[in-house]
Amino acid sequence: MSNEHLIFPDWPAPARVRALQTTRQGGFSAAPYASLNLGSHVGDAPLAVARNRMALNTLLPSEPVWLNQVHGVTVVDVGQAACLPQADASVSNRPGGVCVVMTADCLPVLLCDAAGGVVGAAHAGWRGLCDGVIEATVACMGVAPGSLMAWLGPAIGPSAFEVGEEVRAAFLAQQPEAETAFTPASGNAGVGGGKWYADIFALARLRLAALGIERVYGGGVCTYSDAERFFSYRRDGVTGRMGSFIWLER
């Protein structure tokens, strides 16, 4: 597979930490899943998904531990996980074990420690983010949070992610400073029942900062506004899924 269709995190991770992010380009799926759809649960032809995953596997040290993502906070260790575990994050301290989360607007968060001893990947849609999927992932990594760094992948941007008052209230109930990540939608007086634009990148940074994780990279790349490069569930409804991968080199 050509690297031109992939994104490689720009962060000061240790040399043995490897990571990549797919776009929608460079695969075998037909519209509306064109073309590098990695999701086997979205209605795409199974053979096309299999071909896409096989092409990607040439860049990976082993078959990734794919998750059955449910917008929860369960975390699995890829060295001990069964096939397709129901979880929204994974961690690994075993060389060659590949963590992956799939997204199409939700925020992928990749994590590693400064010593290059453990990595993790979290699927942070607004519900999982609010309920603590980042915190759960960090806890399972088993190192001091201050030793970690994070990379935020492409997700729906703050000018497109319109949410209801209940979403804003849920975040503010746990972290009052999250108020800074919400902007009233046009014509919204901010009273109960209104609509808001949410900055999921800012919300993730607040959660990471509260844990003591100060080295945060990436963020700001909007899936909704770039139909050529990214899948977006909010934009298209029926669409594919991109993958965010991280592992320790053998």
- Residue whose structure tokens are 């901010």: 190
Q: What pLDDT is recorded for position 110? A: 99
Taking CA atoms, 215 is separated from 140, 141, 185, 208, in Å, by 19, 16, 31, 9
Domain 3-159+208-248 superfamily per CATH: CNF1/YfiH-like putative cysteine hydrolases (3.60.140.10)
Rounded CA separation 60/245 (Å): 9
Rounded CA separation 147/140 (Å): 14
**142-186 per-position pLDDT tens digit:** 999 999 999 999 999 999 999 999 999 999 999 999 999 999 997
0.75 surpassed by pTM: yes
Domain with CATH 3.60.140.10 in the chain: 3-159+208-248
- Alpha helical stretches, state H, the chain: 46-57, 126-131, 133-141, 165-174, 200-211, 233-236
Taking CA atoms, 113 is separated from 25, 107, 174, in Å, by 30, 20, 26
